[in-house]
Structure 1
């Protein structure tokens, strides 16, 4: 049997609970901004130790809303080069200018040095991204730099449900955290996102922005340039049910990652991105770096064709400053990000992954590494 790149896990109990919720929602006719949205918000906030959560249509919307609330229009926003396109797109859509910074090769995240190098006199915000679910141990130092400059730190926590550093949950280190519930995430609502914050003012603004900028749900008085960023009750019900499995899913993924760590330690030149002290990843992605000179496409093709193991998409194969659509914001080479993006692979990690599947991946990666890098 093959090992897929990703697998979405809803067991029979989950499916039954979702079906019951959908029946209830359809019977009441309350299809948006109803009780299931509120339940999901409360449960997600509690799971991450935050006072407030606002459910929205996507992780991209969550990030854009957070940036709109701090007003980045015609100003600079620092973002890391190793992240998904949406991190920079949210800045542009909120009216800001992304300033793309290099990253720490140990964490794929901003470092204090790369952040300092990217700050400008017109910096309005900084976006810290938790790639693969790893919260950098430099997070407090990054927050301190932002505080000294009077600049808000916003977390792109799209990958980081249930991740933490020093016992504090991802999404709670800055003014706001933006989460995604795209289907492949550790927990999903099908589609959707969440704004997490300890600020009641930002919470209130996010509620306005998500509903076309209306001052209240029952009127057509528009006070902000919002959009249709609501989460449907159907999505909220799916998310509420799936969130109950978060701790279980994270533990399963961490066990898989621990076995990968041990196996890859014996492969000369293949370098996993491991957890620094204090960090506790959800292992949304298990990232490793191929030795320089190894053909990544050939590596992925060999593990698939010879061993039935599909490697998931890289995070990411092209850094932000080299994305064609972001060419207007390119300011020069970012050598660390370019090297990381050219060599990284992601080993499969599923929320219900078996020991046999883990063994199959280890066997495949070990054999192909020895063939191509030996």
Structure 2
């Protein structure tokens, strides 16, 4: 039996609920910015104890809208070097300049030291990315540094559905949090994104930007440089149905992660990324660092020979080494370069079976003995 890198979970009842919603939507003819979008927004906000939510077409759109609201055009935005291309792309598309910062080896997230080294007199915003569904314990210090400088803090929470730190949910630490519903996320709408904020002004601005910058839905006057960032009613219906399982999905992933961590303790030199104190992560990814000198490609190939496919890294190439972003690079960022080169991600699904967990652990142990022994 093969264990896939990821598995998207929609049970029979969910599929039936989505089908009923699609029938209703198509019958009504209201295909965008309708009641299902509002329902999805309300449910997601409630699940994260946030006052306001705005649904958009993607997590990348959510980030760009947030950056446009805080006003980064012609200014610098600090971005951790270890994140997906879209984080930097959103900065560029909003008119800003990404400034890459180093990360912490224990969380893969932006560190306070990295932020301090990356700040410039022109810094307008900082993007904090919750890699793999873990919120760094440096979050409060990062917010304090931003507040001292009058700089906006934006959370890239694309991985962080349902995650908390010290009892507070992702999306509540900055001025706004941007979430993704790409198919592999803990909950999905097929495609889509969401902004969470405590600010009515941010909410209202986001609604303008997502609908071509129009002053109202029915009017043809444009007051912002927006775009077609709406979420369709069909996607909203899928997202709202899937969101009903958020707590169960998170707990299922946490249960698998606990087993992995306990069993991998016997593999000397293989270091799982452990959950920080006060953090309750969703384990969107289960991350482990290989020892120096172990060839990651060989290790992944050996694991695959046992029918286990390791999921994509987060991330294998830091932003300042991405060919399309080299013009923004400014010297080495050693921690990001090291963790990007050495980590792997074990399969972790929201409906993972015990026999699959055992198969992964057996494959990883055998491959590790062969490659690192």
Calculate the TM-score normalised by the size of structure 1. Answer: 0.99
Query: 1:260 matched to which residue of 2?
Result: 260
Aligned positions of 1:1-374 closer than 5 A: 1-305=1-305, 307-374=306-373
- Distance in 2 between the 1:98 and 1:73 partners? 11
Gap regions ≥5 residues in structure 2? none
Displacement after TM superposition at 1:264 (Å) = 1.3
- Distance in 2 between the 1:89 and 1:2 partners? 35
Q: SS of 1:372's equivalent?
A: helix
Q: Aligned Cα RMSD in Å?
A: 0.5
Deviations 1:250-309 (A, max 9, x none): 00000000011111111111111110100111000001111111111111111111x100
- Distance in 2 between the 1:164 and 1:288 partners? 21
Deviations 1:228-254 (A, max 9, x none): 000000000000000000000000000
- Distance in 2 between the 1:308 and 1:278 partners? 35
Which 4+ stretches in 1 moved above 6 angstroms?
none
- Distance in 1 between the 2:322 and 2:215 partners? 37
Gap regions ≥5 residues in structure 1? none
Q: SS of 1:125's equivalent?
A: strand
Deviations 1:47-66 (A, max 9, x none): 00100000000000000000
- Distance in 1 between the 2:86 and 2:280 partners? 25
- Distance in 2 between the 1:88 and 1:238 partners? 28
Aligned length: 373
Displacement after TM superposition at 1:31 (Å) = 0.1
- Distance in 2 between the 1:135 and 1:68 partners? 24
Deviations 1:340-370 (A, max 9, x none): 0001100000000011100110111111101
Displacement after TM superposition at 1:35 (Å) = 0.1
- Distance in 1 between the 2:230 and 2:15 partners? 23
- Distance in 1 between the 2:105 and 2:298 partners? 24
- Distance in 2 between the 1:251 and 1:67 partners? 32
Displacement after TM superposition at 1:147 (Å) = 0.5
